[in-house]
Amino acid sequence: MCGITGYIGEGESASILSTGLKNLEYRGYDSAGIALVGDQVDVHKQEGTIDGLTIPRDVDATHGIGHTRWSTHGEPTDENAHPHTDCRGDVAVVHNGIISNYTELKEELAGHIFESETDTEVIPHLIENEIARGADLRAAVTRVLDHLEGSFAIAATHVDHDGIVAARQDSPLVIGHGDDGMYLGSDVTAFVEYTRQVSYLEDGDVAHLSEDGITIFNDGKRVEREIQTVDWDASAAGKAGHDHYMHKEIHEQPHALRQAISGRIDELSGKASLDIDLDDEFLESIDNIQIVACGTSYHAGLYAKELIEPLVDVTVRVDLASEYEVYDGYDTQNTLVVAVTQSGETADTLSAIRRAKAPGMTTLAVTNTVGSTITREVDDSLFIKAGPEIGVAATKTFVSQVTALALFATYIGRLRGTLSADEGADILENIRKLPNAVQSVLDAEPQIERLAERYVDSDAFFFIGRGLAQPVALESALKLKEISYAHAEGFAAGELKHGPLALVTENTPVLAFLNESASPDETFNNVKEVESRGAPVICLSSTSEDASFCDHSIDVPNLGRLGPLVSNVAMQLFAYHVANEMERPIDKPRNLAKSVTVE
């Protein structure tokens, strides 16, 4: 994905746009650029992060657009950086998404001068043609949209036309309504310093931000989009004294969990109360739950399966969203499809939800992002309330996703009578204890940091666990590999002897989850197997007995089914400190972006 910013108003455009780009950098950091529009269109762009971009402060601009790029078509070079312009340099365009028919469009634009390898560059040239035919900027963009195939959010300006025209199709765009002007962003983070009054554009919207305000059209008709107030301020998006967003977000977890839990627990009755509208009768009737998600959210889905199946008499299937298919003969009436997605913008997950909706299945999103695309497409949303997560590596949102899904499992278990009041109360008590349990692991950071320093030069890292701890093993390995680039794998502990054991040497630490709810005795046998091959073993356990058999042991409170989730927090810190020792760009790992809005 990429990040788009825009501003028109009395403020200093260059400074507002560069703040926006800095805030959106987590969406992509291959290149950055802005176009400032006054008497002329001034484009400044280059490969690399926004820090390397020199933006003159003395340009007399009334408005402008900016972009931070995660490359899809064309390498990260100065030429491929956005904004892109037309032949005369009058039109400037930034774009997020993919124009799938750009090759044909480029052929139709024979005679135009192209300077990049991007799909985006066809857009300013198409606008140039429409303006030459007499259209104003809004009409030109509207006509161009008819030619574009794919998913996109775009913002365009023209030297002789007032304001910015923005359009969305399957890619997010948010308008900010400030006292001193109008803001545009791929998400609220772009302008949260300046205003918290926002409206979310919908697919097909074409918005004209001008000195007089905003007008929005959809399918040729004027439409209004509700103005909402976002409930977090600029400080929530800052680093608050931490070296990295990821470190800050790891430490925010007790607070994030309190927000996820607040008002949702009634221990006395053993019931969770969820602010969702799905019909209880429907939830009582379902036979299947299908979870679709990607990456870390997929691991949260795997954890949820282990929570839901024993508590509720439904079958839970978890699919990588990119692999999800609905086959003929599937029981579509008695199935709930749950999309787990932090951003609510992941293209693979959105596409899976659309496939599920086609034959009429009921859909629920478990997401962090109010107003995101997925919330507008599903039947209902369960918000995890983790607050903004900027680090590319998902941390607090994983823990909050699993917690929200644990509440959901308790809710439907009690509703269907498969979970007794006592069992429900037990689970809810553990959920209530989660924030403090997570804090106790955060307090062990110095020990975890020492372990990271000791093993940073290892050949590879293996994480093993069973049951509830297996998704945590997968998640721990993903976290370590994405921010440190070290080779890391998560395995079902029992599978080691069926192949992966061949990889184990004295230079491959094995991190074993011995939580009481995750078959610790059986996993302990696997610890013995790797120890006898010379591998150093780091155990995560709540019993001091285990500690004496492992090379190192990290103490994790026993929290029943949620114990492995607490262990995961220790592994977030381990990954963070390994990556920090290696001096990796932790918040912006190479080749990655926070949410992936292309399939």
Which chain residues interact with ligand AGP by CB under 6 A? 294-297, 341-343, 346, 349, 392-394, 482, 595-596
- 218 burial (CB, 10 Å; 0-12 / 13-18 / 19+) is middle
Identify which of residues 229 and 591 has a Cβ nearer to ligand AGP in the complex: 591
Identify which of residues 68 and 296 has a Cβ nearer to ligand AGP in the complex: 296
Q: Rounded CA gap, 237 and 100, in Å?
A: 34
Torsion, Cα of 216, 219, 224, 227 (10° steps) = -70
594 catalytic residue (yes or no) = yes
CA separation (Å) from 203 to 173, 174, 373, 457, 566? 10, 12, 9, 48, 39
The single-letter DSSP state of residue 170 is B
Identify which of residues 2 and 394 has a Cβ nearer to ligand AGP in the complex: 394
Give me the least distance between CB of 70 and ligand AGP, in Å please: 12
- Token pair recorded at residue 128: 């140039």
Contact 424, 271 (CB under 8 A): yes
Identify which of residues 458 and 595 has a Cβ nearer to ligand AGP in the complex: 595
- Token pair recorded at residue 578: 């390994």
Give me the least distance between CB of 555 and ligand AGP, in Å please: 25
- 545 burial (CB, 10 Å; 0-12 / 13-18 / 19+) is exposed
- Token pair recorded at residue 361: 């299945």
Identify which of residues 483 and 530 has a Cβ nearer to ligand AGP in the complex: 483
Identify which of residues 297 and 519 has a Cβ nearer to ligand AGP in the complex: 297
Identify which of residues 253 and 341 has a Cβ nearer to ligand AGP in the complex: 341
Contact 442, 254 (CB under 8 A): yes
Contact 351, 319 (CB under 8 A): no
Q: Rounded CA gap, 292 and 321, in Å?
A: 5
CA separation (Å) from 218 to 8, 163, 206, 519, 577? 22, 18, 6, 56, 49
Give me the least distance between CB of 145 and ligand AGP, in Å please: 26
Nearest Cα residue to 427 out of 229, 267, 598, 221: 267
Contact 416, 284 (CB under 8 A): yes
With b for 16 or more beta-carbon neighbours within 10 A and e for fewer, the 141-152 pattern comes to: bbebbebbebbb
Strands (E), 38-187: 41-47, 63-69, 84-85, 91-99, 150-158, 161-169, 174-177, 181-185
Give me the least distance between CB of 260 and ligand AGP, in Å please: 15
Give me the least distance between CB of 483 and ligand AGP, in Å please: 8
**Which of the residues 248, 271, 588, 594 is marked catalytic?**
594
Give me the least distance between CB of 484 and ligand AGP, in Å please: 13
2 catalytic residue (yes or no) = yes
Q: Which amino acid would we find at residue 369?
A: T
The single-letter DSSP state of residue 58 is -
CA separation (Å) from 308 to 219, 361, 425? 43, 19, 16
83 cis-preceded (ω within 30 degrees of 0): yes
Q: Rounded CA gap, 60 and 341, in Å?
A: 41
With vertex at residue 85, the alpha carbon angle to CA 95 and CA 122, rounded to the nearest 5 degrees, is 60
Give me the least distance between CB of 294 and ligand AGP, in Å please: 4
Give me the least distance between CB of 480 and ligand AGP, in Å please: 11
**Which of the residues 2, 294, 539, 550 is marked catalytic?**
2
Give me the least distance between CB of 236 and ligand AGP, in Å please: 18
Contact 74, 42 (CB under 8 A): no
Identify which of residues 33 and 301 has a Cβ nearer to ligand AGP in the complex: 301
Give me the least distance between CB of 401 and ligand AGP, in Å please: 8
Q: Rounded CA gap, 585 and 439, in Å?
A: 26
Give me the least distance between CB of 482 and ligand AGP, in Å please: 6
The single-letter DSSP state of residue 482 is H
Identify which of residues 20 and 301 has a Cβ nearer to ligand AGP in the complex: 301
98 contacts: CB under 8 Å, gap ≥ 6 = 72, 73, 119, 150, 151, 152, 598
Q: Which amino acid would we find at residue 475?
A: E
- 20 burial (CB, 10 Å; 0-12 / 13-18 / 19+) is buried
Closest residue to ligand AGP, judged by C-beta, is: 295
Identify which of residues 9 and 388 has a Cβ nearer to ligand AGP in the complex: 388
**Active-site residue numbers?**
2, 594
